[in-house]
Amino acid sequence: MPTRINPWSLILVVILAYWLFTLLGGNNTRTSVSYTDFIAYVEEGKIARVVLQEGRITAYFKAPQRISVGNTTETTDRFTVVALPSGYTDLELIQLLRKNGVEITNRPPSIWGPLLYSLLPIAALIAFWWFFFMRAQGGAGQVMQFGQSRARQYGKERRVNTTFKDVAGHTEAKRELMEVVDFLKNPQKYITIGAEIPKGVLLVGPPGTGKTLLTRAVAGEAGVPFFSVSASEFMEMFVGVGASRVRTLFEEARRNAPAIIFIDELDSIGRKRGAGIGGGHDEREQTLNQILSEMDGFEKDTSVIVLAATNRPDILDPALLRPGRFDRQVVIGLPTLEERKEILQVHMRGKKFASDVDVHALARLTPQFSGADLKNLVNEAALQAARENASEISQAHFQAALDKIMLGLERGTLKLSEQEKRAVAYHEAGHAIAGEVLPYADKTEKVSIVPRGMALGVRWSKPEERILMSKEHLEDTLAMTLAGRAAEELFVGTITTGAANDFKQATSLAKQMVLDWGMGDHFKNVAWGSNTGPIFLGEEIAKKQDHSEETSRLIDADIRTILDRAYEKAKEVLSRHAEAVHRLAEELLESEIVQGERVREIIAQTQKPEAVAPTAFNPEA
């Protein structure tokens, strides 16, 4: 595609080139000689004509002459006099010229040079600000459209090819959105019966779960004009610009009705008004007010549907969520086991896979993975296969990709001493043995003491799909988490800093048990709120403590009691299975990686007959 040349840029380049031309000697394109040599040529009768101009004399030879210029000689028919002062007059010069029959021509001074010298700084300043303004607005075409909408429009010429067939899982969400598609295709069916389609649909869910993909599918299925814009694109350093862009966007959508407007990351402009310190912003609030007015203001319009996406619905202004604006909230959660299988199969289309690739096993190994995470997993496995020059992607490539995503790259250059390596081996062996022995903990998938990322070792588990977590499962999970430090204390003879992350995870989980789930000894039916999610500075400062100092002391006591119990349980389990811990640690020191099946074999081989595991928890009892 040919590049379009801006005429203003061309004019600026020409002016600048002329200025440099004159500055660097553009007036001296002809051969220059001294005033003394000029007088000598006149006296010798070689000059036919001179042109007198303020600060300059141009002389023409009667015939081309070979003259000396500096250290060289050249042949020329004319020359100029160098370094002639402006306004210089030599009364004898005119007499000398007339005496030698030289034709004299007077030329008035040029006004272009002084004019350019005076106007060039102003022009350069204007050009600088124009260029800065153009770049700030994303191109020269928008300099005069500062308040225009930046939404990308898709229609007949530029269609969205995504459909619901390209979206795996999210059955309930697709059912809700199909109603929007049906209204846009067959509005009369709803109008006849007196039904009103929701004006706004808010897609809520964690990052990477497919909110934008679902919206593209709605546009592709409906086949109507689709306007896509990020909420941050409304914001500008000048107050009122965002509101102007909102008006322009809705006006354009109404002209192309029926149409869909999609606003991504709505929370960037839809935050609660008057949220406290750092919560007020004139431009953001004016933009939000304009969106509220356009969606359900004085002017009623049912032919434009607004879809929006956010992962922070808790911070949105209540006026956005009331009926008449965003009537519906469609939750796009993390995919379940079956949905992860479907998503993996979608992203595996068109790629070559070995026969040992087990999609079901991959789905089980990726709990809490979003659709974007699963796409990244497939891509990393493909990159790993290409790195090894393999013709197909195997299960081993997926395992390597999963390790890389979860833990980071292997740190082969990190060399541990024998004592440090032994401490890491016993630490991870403690996690693995406790996780296998405790009946409600997730079972071990793999144990490794290969340094990856920030971790010196890792114990992988195979988590089960749980909707509700029992108290027994949480307590066993805490014991398994603290079993690494317990193993160090029991078998290494000292404790290390390797349990830092374990303590953070365990403390966070214990806080939730006490503050959110009513599992403390003193507070069984009270939820104080653990504030585990991010909050705003203003909300944090303005928040009042809703319990006394005595209550805080009891909360701390409950958290400590839960952690102490879990630690003692871990020590008791590891003491009973000390031989298994020793054998697993030795195998880790030898091979660095031990699979979960081998861990279970070691426990079975060292199991004492009197050591009988407690009965598993039955949630239906």
**C-alpha distances in angstroms, 438 versus 79, 387, 503, 563?**
103, 40, 19, 16
With beta carbons less than 8 A apart as the criterion, state whether 217 and 321 touch.
Answer: no
Helix (H) or strand (E) holding 309: strand 304-310
Does residue 481 surpass a pLDDT of 90? yes
Give domain 31-109's CATH number out of 3.30.720.210, 3.40.50.150, 2.30.29.30, 3.40.50.1000: 3.30.720.210
pLDDT at res. 237? 52
Helix (H) or strand (E) holding 5: none
In CATH terms, the fold of domain 339-407 is Helicase, Ruva Protein; domain 3 (1.10.8)
Tens of pLDDT, residue by residue over 533-555, are 444 444 444 455 666 788 888 88
**What average pLDDT does the chain have?**
78
Q: In what order do the strands lie in the sheet with 72-81?
A: 32-33, 72-81, 56-69, 47-53, 103-107
Tens of pLDDT, residue by residue over 496-515, are 888 899 999 999 999 999 98
Does residue 289 surpass a pLDDT of 80? no
User: Which phi and psi (to 5°) does residue 282 adopt?
Assistant: -55, -45
Domain boundaries, the chain: 31-109, 152-331, 339-407, 418-606
Specify the 3-state DSSP secondary structure of 200: strand
**C-alpha distances in angstroms, 312 versus 124, 266, 386, 553, 596?**
47, 9, 38, 32, 38
Peptide bond into 225 cis (omega under 30): no
In CATH terms, the fold of domain 418-606 is Methane Monooxygenase Hydroxylase; Chain G, domain 1 (1.20.58)
- Going by C-alpha positions, the residue among 328, 315, 241 that lies closest to residue 279 is 315
What average pLDDT does the segment 50-71 reach? 80
Top-confidence range, 100-109, 308-317, 472-481? 472-481
Question: What pairs with residue 531 in β-bridges?
Answer: none
Tens of pLDDT, residue by residue over 16-48, are 666 555 554 444 445 778 888 888 888 888 888
Q: Token digits for 195?
A: 């039904």
- Going by C-alpha positions, the residue among 288, 121, 309 that lies closest to residue 215 is 309
Would 152-331 and 418-606 be classified into the same CATH topology? Answer: no
Tens of pLDDT, residue by residue over 337-381, are 888 888 898 888 888 888 888 888 888 888 888 888 898 999 999
Does residue 427 surpass a pLDDT of 70? yes
User: Which phi and psi (to 5°) does residue 264 adopt?
Assistant: -90, 150
Reported as half-sphere exposure (CB side, CA atoms, 13 A), residue 59 has a value of 27
- Going by C-alpha positions, the residue among 303, 298, 297 that lies closest to residue 260 is 303
d(CA 375, CA 368): 14
The question of whether 176 is a catalytic residue gets the answer: no
What average pLDDT does the segment 233-260 reach? 73
* Catalytic entry in 252, 265, 283, 428: 428
Please state, as a whole number, how many other Cβ atoms lie within 10 Å of the Cβ of residue 398.
Answer: 27
Architecture of domain 152-331: 3-Layer(aba) Sandwich (3.40)
- The DSSP output letter for 295 is H
What average pLDDT does the segment 168-188 reach? 82
> Could you identify the residue written with the tokens 């809705």?
250
Q: Token digits for 558?
A: 């409950």
